[in-house]
Structures are given as C-alpha cells and as structure tokens.
C-alpha cells in the first residue's frame, strides 16, 4: 500500500493506493500455488464453488489473491481454471487489537 499526502485549501488529505499486480496463471502454478501459500483460508462459497483467499510471497514481497475450487466431487474446477492472469494485491501483516464480549 502506498500512502501520500496532499495539501488542498489548508487541509491535509491522505491518499491510500493499493498496489495490484497481475500474475500469469502459469507463474502461480510454477510457484506451486495455492499449495505452498503462507496462508490459505475459505472466505466464501457459492452453490458450485468454494472460494479461498491465499497469502504468498514472490521476490521478497507478499501478495493476496483468491481462487475457487469445486464444492463437490461433481464440480471439476481447479484454482484459476478460467483465468489466464490473476490480479493480486500487495499486502503486509499488521497487528490489530480487538475487544470482544465474554460471559461473566
């Protein structure tokens, strides 16, 4: 993520730009993704597919993308089966503190 500042009419404005790259499906397969991903979690599902989000490293940077696979043995769908290029966001890990309610 790239952040930059701009001053307009005496106001300081913070702009955040997410860095997106497109990787070829072939390169992702050569990296043994999604199997070699640092993180791989299910984030959604449809009637026929299960959508995963992965975090992976490439050339010293960390990226996030999604892929889907068939939800049952009858759906023959592999990662990025219908894509030649895969859009990925550059990411970095941050620590977040949350508050939750617990029973007394």
Cβ burial of 91 (10 Å; 0-12, 13-18, 19+) is middle
Q: What is the pLDDT at residue 8?
A: 57
CB atoms < 10 A from the CB of 48, how many? 12
List, for residues 30-89, the tens digit of each pLDDT value: 999 999 999 999 999 999 999 999 999 999 999 999 999 999 888 889 999 989 999 999
Q: How confident is the model at residue 19 (pLDDT cuts 50, 70, 90)?
A: confident
Q: Strands (DSSP E) along 31-100, which ranges? A: 39-45, 49-58, 61-70, 85-91
pTM: 0.76
């Amino acid at each position: 993520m790239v952040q930059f500042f701009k001053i307009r009419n005496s106001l300081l404005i913070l702009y955040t730009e997410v860095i997106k790259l497109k990787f070829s499906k072939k390169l992702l397969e050569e990296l043994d993704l999604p199997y070699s991903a640092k993180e791989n979690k299910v984030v959604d599902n449809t009637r026929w597919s299960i959508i995963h989000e992965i975090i992976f490293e490439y050339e010293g940077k960390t990226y996030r993308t999604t892929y889907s696979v068939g939800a049952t043995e009858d759906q023959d769908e592999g990662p990025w089966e219908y894509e030649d290029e895969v859009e990925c966001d550059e990411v970095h890990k941050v620590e977040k503190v949350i508050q939750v309610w617990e029973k007394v």
